Amino acid sequence: MLDRTIDSYIAFLRRSVLSQTITNNQPFEANCEFESPNRNLAPVTSTLDSQHRLMVGGCRLSELAQRYGTPLYVLDETTLRCACRAYREALQQHYPGPSLPLYASKANSSLMLSSLVASEGFGLDAVSACEMLTALQGGMPGQRMVLHGNNKSDEELLLAYRNNVTIVVDNQHDLERLEVLIPKDSPPARLMLRFTPGIECHTHDYIRTGHLDSKFGFDPDQLAPVLQQLVKQPWAQLTGLHAHIGSQIFELEPHRDLAAVMADALKLARDLGHPVEDLNVGGGLGIRYVETDDPPTIQQWVQVIADAVTTACRSRDLKLPRLLCEPGRSLVATAGVTLYSVGSRKTIPNVRTYVAIDGGMSDNPRPITYQSLYTAKLADRPLEDANETVNLVGKHCESGDVLLKDLALPQTTSGDVVVVFATGAYNASMSSNYNRIPRPAAVLVHDGLSELVQKREQPDDLLRYDVLPERFQQLD
């Protein structure tokens, strides 16, 4: 049975004003108003050429696979910019105070993405020294960045301080180290205090962070003592509060609850004399990975949060803070697809057929980690009737290296290119060299052009940091 969501989406594009330029294989721009990108299964520029082969950003996917090799991460610039503008415009429309969306770069960190989101007026959320360095070298101003983390090193704290990055204080250890590290008579460090709001939401246990049993943030009963502790510290300037309730969330009510909890914390902080201007509600909006997923739109998510924060602050007679949010997955996931080449197959009569591709858990660990689901098509036969059900498996030495279970596909042959959708988030960033397999290349597509944004690792890259002790070299 065909995936009606993707097929109807492609059909829409073929019927649209883009159809003539698509047929002529000319550059085109997608309509950002078609739908909130996080609700699409495919990038917003997805379409078919005259022979019904899949294209993204005006580039034929099977040609990209041939040119750059597989596995290959493909990112669509138009989808990325559409998602950025959806957040920015929704904040401007629904929140009467100042606002700043921050890209949660843990979803996918690169020089290109840092540069792109900076050009769209975003800030950035980093969780390590290397994520900060990547963002800074990509052109993201330090004053538009925050540093998260539950176990920050001295190196990370100093790097943030020296580059005007706001440090999100997660625990007492952060405060103790900062008090030692900040030089006397130097400008104070800009701090944002993170606390757990005690709000549950329906998502995977590993990506729930707002409930009380979490490794992140101060507990609610620690909030007042910590705020009092910081009042007269010359090295500290508390400018914001932060809370985050999880990831891949489809519910809106927990975000309304969060606004009330954060408004109470804001009132407490200001009453104690802290110049808190920023209220950071985190991210967490989900995306559509499979047809049955039904996330809210970016606009709906922002409107609920903006209205809730506005109401909560006004009911407490509080000046509206600058509203910060941290979209990651909902910004980049749908913009990405991963291309694989089909290799071997194994059929066990009356049991199952395994179709193996040239990647797997090293370039996408989410299925084996979170039991995540995806949608996939053949790049050059996306509309062909599926006549077999297979397990699409990786090449790694793990029985659990299964990318998609019970996937309906046309009969595949060795060399076919498989497209897995919505892989722009937590695929490249969580990739590994398991089995000593090099990480894939990544390309950015736009207006019929493809540009390399991440080189494919080579075997020599994996050996670069190995050191063979001299005494081993002397053995015959």
- Gyration radius of the chain's alpha carbons: 24
**Neighbouring-strand partners of residue 378:** 418
Dihedral sign computed on CA atoms, order 27, 31, 35, 37: positive
Percent helix, strand and coil across the chain, each to the nearest 5: 35, 20, 45
Cis preceding-peptide flag for 367 (omega within 30 of 0): no
Q: Where are the beta strands (DSSP E) in 285-440?
A: 322-325, 336-348, 352-357, 376-378, 388-393, 402-409, 417-421
Judge whether 366 and 427 are in contact, CB under 8 Å: yes
**Rounded distance between C-alpha atoms, residue 472 and residue 476, angstroms:** 9
**Neighbouring-strand partners of residue 325:** 101
Q: What angle do CA 103, 107, 110 make, to 5 degrees?
A: 80
Half-sphere exposure of 416 (CA within 13 A, CB side): 24
Instruction: Give the amino acid at 275.
Output: P
**Rounded distance between C-alpha atoms, residue 293 and residue 2, angstroms:** 16
Read off the DSSP letter of residue 437.
P
Q: Is 32 a catalytic residue?
A: no
Does residue 60 sit in helix, strand or coil?
strand
User: Looking at 59, 201, 313, 397, which residue is catalytic?
Assistant: 397
Cis preceding-peptide flag for 71 (omega within 30 of 0): yes
Q: What are the CA-CA distances from residue 1 to residues 87, 167, 181, 291 (Å)? A: 35, 50, 61, 12
**Rounded distance between C-alpha atoms, residue 169 and residue 216, angstroms:** 10
**Rounded distance between C-alpha atoms, residue 140 and residue 237, angstroms:** 22
Read off the DSSP letter of residue 53.
-
**Rounded distance between C-alpha atoms, residue 347 and residue 132, angstroms:** 47
Annotated active-site positions, please? 397
